[in-house]
Amino acid sequence: MPDVRTHEPDEHDNAYSGLLVNDAHWAFGTDFEDPLAGVDTTVPDGVDPATLATYCLMLGDDALVLSQRLAEWCSNAPDLEEDIALSNIALDLLGQARLLLARAAAADGSQVPALPDGSPVPDEDRLAFFRDGVQFRNVRLAEVPNGDFAQTIARILLFSSWRLALFEELSHSRDAVLAAVAAKGVKELTYHRDFAGRWFLTLARGTDESRRRLLAGLDALWPYWAELFETHEVERATALAGVGVDPAGIAADVDAVVEQVLAVSGVDRPAVPPLAGVQGSKGDKGSTGSKGRDGRHTEAHSRMIAEMQVVARAHPRGQW
Amino acid sequence: MTAALRRGPAFDRGQVLGQDPVLGQDPMFDQEPAPGRDSMLERARQAASAVVDPELPMLTLVDLGVLRDVRIDDDGVVTAAITPTYSGCPAMATMRDDLLRELQAAGFADARVRVVLEPAWTTDWITPAGRAALAAAGISPPGPAPRRSGPVLLQLVPPRRAVRCPQCGSDDVVVGSEFGSTACKALYRCRSCLEPFDHVKEI
């Protein structure tokens, strides 16, 4: 246990009181030194630790990257309520990412970037801030630029519908940590999906301009939609081992939810083909090419990651 | 459980069960003290029970249902267990620090705080005392958490809650946003007294 701050009993009345006492921790982290402190992180029997860790990175990176995108709305949303809502959703996803990256590190420490001795950076932050873009395993839907508010709503609807169904399955994982993270995430994602579904309907049935923007946003995102249901070999292996979920298996349920929103909104499915992966590259899976789960991303991903990481990478020992 | 532990109504599980069956699932504080250690355990629980939530300081961590357990581990060390309200709850570090400070002040220099993730926190764990404290502070307490069997259903209309304005008591209220000043609150507005207020949303 680190040194403990010794505040006065009225510390919560003073915004500055906690800043001056024994606060020597890494400048960019969230301060709780281990989000899984005391949690049993034993890898279940018959599960390859490296595969489990990579799977946790996939689900963690989905949340981390979309959280970073949604955080870009902070102070920029159309009104205060939506600003706060988007930031709250970003915070939920960041929390899920933190637990999942910490679980990845606990399963297989060899995937955590090495830093100089004495570095105060905790494992999950090393994974978030010190991996290169090609080491991120997120689906590309999470990384594309926000577009306008309507496109952001469309993305949250698609992403949360998919992730909610996935987490409902994952809450039965043989890995107790994944099961617990998923069960908690279901409650949060339920609010995210309802929020996006209501706004989708509002924008679709609103003005000509709101509808035009929504349809354009949905068209822009649709090429990334099919990728969410393609089974990566890591997902297949973890599903077979009873710790992960094969995304192909939830496609019908997710489709039914999205169809429900589209139907009530009077919106047709976009006639836009899926975006192909990168052909002929390392890790090529054949005709569809390498995609987000393989670490192959869009150009926007690298710029977003660079902005997210640049300060932390410049000060790997930064303390305050 | 002894009378000395009852810092507030939160500890009287019999009373809680009698009042509202929804609140009867609390696994908290179930360790029976070993002979000779009961006063030590009591002292630790009293100390931990004094800690308040950093964002809702009118509630103790017990009132909020976040403090899940205080026990003496096999190695003789006092260990408190807390669970996050939401995955991204930024108050976890402060809760841990506050718990350690109180436990150390009570003489448990090597006390530990661990995280429990399962079962996930639910607003049903907010005690009757906690609900009363929320209402007294102008925050509308949560109704029963949703129960489901089977897939989570999509809700395209805002939930109809039996919410009353904590300022004037009117039930003529309208939800402004399902996401409020913290992750756990929705933002409402009263159409009678025109005041905005927070509602702790059910999870």
Note whether B88 and A94 are within 8 A (CB): yes
The contacts of residue A231 (CB under 8 Å, 6+ apart) are A239, A246, A247, A248
Least CB-CB distance to B87: which of A36, A184, A191? Answer: A184
Percentage of residues in chain A with pLDDT exceeding 90? 78
pLDDT digits (tens, 9 = 90+) for A210-219: 999 999 999 9
Q: Do A261 and B154 touch (CB under 8 A)?
A: yes
| d(C-alpha A173, C-alpha A56), whole Å | 12
> Which residue in chain B is spatially nearest to A90 when comparing CA positions?
B88
Over residues A10-25, mean pLDDT:
53
Q: Give the angle subtended at the CA of A136 by the CAs of B183 and A312, to the nearest 5°.
A: 70
Cis peptide before A122 (omega within 30 of 0): no
- Listing DSSP states for chain A in one string gives --------TTGGG-TTGGGSSS--SBTTS-S-S-TTTT---PPPTT--HHHHHHHHHHHHHHHHHHHHHHHTTTTTSSSHHHHHHHHHHHHHHHHHHHHHHHHHHHH-GGGSPP--TT----HHHHHHHSS-GGG----GGGTS---SHHHHHHHHHHHHHHHHHHHHHHTT-SSHHHHHHHHHHHHHHHHHHHHHHHHHHHHHTS-HHHHHHHHHHHHHHGGGTGGGGS--HHHHHHHHTTSS--GGGGHHHHHHHHHHHHHHHT-PPP--PPPP-BTTSTT--STT-B-GGGT---HHHHHHHHHHHHHHHH-TT-B-
Higher-pLDDT residue of A191 and B183 is A191
Residue B152, chain A, CB below 8 Å: the answer is yes
B62-71: average pLDDT: 96
Whether the predicted pLDDT of A15 surpasses 50? yes
Contacts 24+ apart (CB under 8 A), B28-31: B28/B62, B28/B67, B28/B68, B28/B69, B29/B1, B29/B5, B29/B69, B29/B70, B30/B69, B31/B69, B31/B71, B31/B72
pLDDT, residue B183, reads: 81
pLDDT at residue A24 tops 90: no
Residue A35: pLDDT band by 50, 70, 90 thresholds? Answer: confident
Tokens describing residue B87? 């995955």
CA distance readout (Å), A73 to A311, B35, B179: 20, 57, 15
Could you tell me which residue, B113 or B37, shows the higher pLDDT?
Answer: B113
Q: Is the Cβ of B156 closer than 8 Å to some Cβ of chain A?
A: yes
**The pLDDT of residue B6:** 31
> pLDDT (tens digit, 9 = 90+) per residue, B77-132?
999 999 999 998 888 889 999 999 999 999 999 999 999 999 999 999 999 999 99
SS3 assignment, position B4: helix
Are A39 and B114 an interchain contact pair (Cβ–Cβ within 8 Å)? yes
Q: How confident is the model at residue B158 (pLDDT cuts 50, 70, 90)?
A: confident
At residue B174, what is the residue type? V
Chain A, nearest residue to B203 by Cα: A187
**CB contact burial B126-155 (16+ within 10 A = b; e otherwise):** bbbbbbebbeeeebbbbbebeeeeeebebb
DSSP class of residue B39?
H
Confidence of residue B18 (pLDDT cuts 50, 70, 90): very low
Query: How many residues can be counted in chain B?
Result: 203
Of A91, A176, A177, which is closest to B88 when you measure between CB atoms?
A91
- Candidates B113, B179, B187, B201: best to mutate against A (most CBs of A within 10 A) is B179
Predicted pLDDT at B5: 32
Domain residue limits, chain A? 47-277+292-314
Query: Which residue matches tokens 């822009």?
Result: A220
Residues on chain B touching A264 (C-beta within 8 angstroms) = 156
Identify the DSSP state of B11: G
CB A135 within 8 A of CB A295: yes
Q: What pLDDT, on the 0 to 100 scale, is given for residue A22?
A: 47
**How far is CA A140 from each of CA A110, A218, A221, A296, B78, rounded to the nearest angstrom?**
25, 15, 10, 9, 46
Residue (of B148, B115, B186, B67) closest to A187 by Cα position: B148
Mutate to test the interface with A, among B55, B94, B97 (most CBs of A within 10 A): B97
Confidence of residue A11 (pLDDT cuts 50, 70, 90): low
Cβ pair B58, B49 in contact under 8 A: no
B114 at interface of A, judged by CB pairs closer than 8 A: yes
Percentage with pLDDT > 70 across chain A: 88
Give the model's confidence band at B28: pLDDT under 50 very low, under 70 low, under 90 confident, else very high.
low
Total residue count of chain A as it appears in this document: 320
Burial of A31 (0-12, 13-18, 19+ CB in 10 A): middle
- Considering only the beta carbons, identify the residue of B87, B176, B179 that sits closest to A95: B87
What are the tens digits of pLDDT across the range A282-306?
554 555 789 999 999 999 999 999 9
CA pair distance A154, B158, nearest whole angstrom: 18
**Percentage, residues of chain B above pLDDT 70:** 84
Give the dihedral sign, CA A194/A198/A203/A204: positive
Taken in order of first residue, the domains within chain B and their CATH numbers are 3-124 (3.30.300.130), 139-147+157-203 (no CATH)
Helix (H, G, I), strand (E, B) or coil at B20: coil
Average pLDDT of the residues in B133-143: 95
pLDDT of A84: 94
Strand partners, A319: A26
- Least confident interval from B35-39, B43-47, B173-177: B35-39
Residue A132: what pLDDT? 97
Q: Count the Cβ atoms, other than its own, within 10 Å of residue B14.
A: 10
| Min distance B34 CA to chain A CA atoms (Å) | 22
pLDDT digits (tens, 9 = 90+) for A87-124: 999 999 999 999 999 999 999 999 999 988 878 888 99
The topology under which CATH files domain A47-277+292-314 is Ferritin (1.20.1260)
Amino acid at A176: A
* Residue B7 exposed, middle or buried by CB count within 10 Å (0-12, 13-18, 19+): middle
Q: What six digits make up the tokens of B5? A: 């532990």
Q: Which two tokens stand for residue B32?
A: 């029976």
Beta carbons of B138 and B197 less than 8 angstroms apart: yes
Which is more confidently placed, B31 or B26?
A: B31
CB B88 to CB A96 under 8 A? yes
Q: Among A71-80, A204-213, B102-111, B157-166, where is mean pLDDT lowest? A: B157-166
Query: Chain A: residue nearest B53 by CA?
Result: A12
pLDDT value, residue A264? 97
A231-273 tens-digit pLDDT: 999 999 999 999 999 999 999 999 999 999 999 999 999 999 9
Return the structure tokens found at A149: 């508010």
Q: Which of residues 54-113 of B touch A (CB under 8 A)?
A: 54, 57, 79, 81, 84, 86-90, 92-94, 96-98, 100-101, 104, 110, 112-113
Confidence of residue A74 (pLDDT cuts 50, 70, 90): very high
Query: Which one of B53, B75, B108, B117 would you mutate to disrupt binding with A, by most A Cβ within 10 Å of its Cβ?
Result: B117
CB A311, CB A302: distance < 8 Å = no
